[in-house]
Amino acid sequence: MADNNQSFFRRVPVSKPYLVTRNQALRLSPSNFTQFMKSSTVYGVVIDMPMSPTVITTMACYVNGAANLYFSNGADYSGAAQRYPGVVQAARLFVNNAARYVTPENKVNTFELPNSRNHFAYILTTKGVHRLEINPLRGQQTPEERVFLTLYQRIMGELRNAQMKDVANGNSPDALIVPNA
């Protein structure tokens, strides 16, 4: 099994625009979302997903239904929530369910990028940031992690559908869901 991960055990090259955008997504103020926060202190989830040894995709989802993708090469796919209610619904469901994964043990102060195939999910709360590390390989998660993974895979599916509709409508997005390296 270690051989399958071998190509992932090094840092993926990332562009400066990607780092700036990712940092902004991770540090967005909760005051932007107070009208959407009912009982939970969670206002967003930012997930870093290695897609290949040369590409990391970061998905930023917020309680207002926004869901954007940022790619390590500097490209992005954003604004789909303004056009597609399915994206909004999936993002809200995901962010609202993220509170169950917040524990004192997973609170963090740094925002490393993954250097293996595992995904890093940063749960943004009004009381700090919490990180989950999820193995995306089928059957490698706890039941709770599997639910979490399924919820954000649903958002990826909604974003993929939105992108296909954009292309069909002549609004060609700048980036593909899985961009070329």
Non-local CB neighbours of 97 within 8 Å, separated by 6+ positions: 147, 148, 151
Task: Note the pLDDT tens digit of each residue in 98-139.
Answer: 999 999 999 999 999 998 889 999 999 999 999 999 998 878
Instruction: In the chain, count H helices and then E strands.
Output: 4, 7
Contact 120, 60 (CB under 8 A): no
What would you report as the CA-atom Rg of the chain, rounded to the nearest whole angstrom? 16
Amino acid identity of 102?
V
| Residue from 62, 68, 64, 69 nearest 123 by CA | 62
- For range 17-46, the mean pLDDT: 89
Residue 68 scores a pLDDT above 90:
yes
Distance CA 117, CA 137 (A): 9
Residue with the bigger pLDDT between 3 and 104: it is: 104
Distance CA 106, CA 102 (A): 7
Q: What is the mean pLDDT of the chain?
A: 86
The whole-model pTM stands at 0.87
Distance CA 152, CA 122 (A): 12
Residue 9 scores a pLDDT above 60:
no
Residue 1 scores a pLDDT above 50:
no
Residue with the bigger pLDDT between 13 and 64: it is: 64
